[in-house]
Amino acid sequence: MLLRIIGKRNKERALPLTEPTLTMLREVWKIHRSRQWLFSNRKGTDHLSSRMARRAFNGARDACDFGDRFTPHTLRHSFATKLLEKGVDLRLVQILLGHSSIRSTEIYTHLSEPLRRDLRQLLGDFFAGLF
């Protein structure tokens, strides 16, 4: 139940594969049935080019009326933020994002509203017994 990903600069990492994700990927596989590529070109002979992936992303984005500022990086940023909001350890988020440095991951630790609310509660509880 691991998904092997080859990323930027041919960096490889393994990510846990959940049942819902596996089900969705099986449906994708039925379309092209490539033994080598999860997202292949039309002939199944090579991976999907970055140009075609961008075109598919932009088409889906436009169909949802999200606007041009919504990018693949927006999804990555949202994923990292949600993990942090759920209390996932920063080191684990680093691994999932494939960052070699924790400093790269720290960019995602901005205070979103749920984190601000949790911080207010934590500080309120902490200081309540002091006075």
The tens digit of pLDDT for each residue in 80-96 reads 988 988 889 999 999 88
Q: Residue 126 is which amino acid?
A: F
Q: Is 8:14 a contact under the CB 8 Å cutoff? A: no
- Read off the pLDDT of each residue in 41-48 and give the average, rounded to a whole number: 87
Task: List the domain boundaries for the chain.
Answer: 71-131
Alpha carbons 79 and 18: distance in angstroms, whole number: 15
pLDDT of residue 93: 92
Under the banding of pLDDT at 50, 70 and 90, the label for residue 131 is: low
Q: If pLDDT is split at 50, 70 and 90, which confidence band does 70 have? A: very high
Per-residue pLDDT reduced to its tens digit, 27-40? 988 888 888 888 88
CA distance 11 to 128: 48
Distance between CA atoms of residues 13 and 62, nearest Å: 31
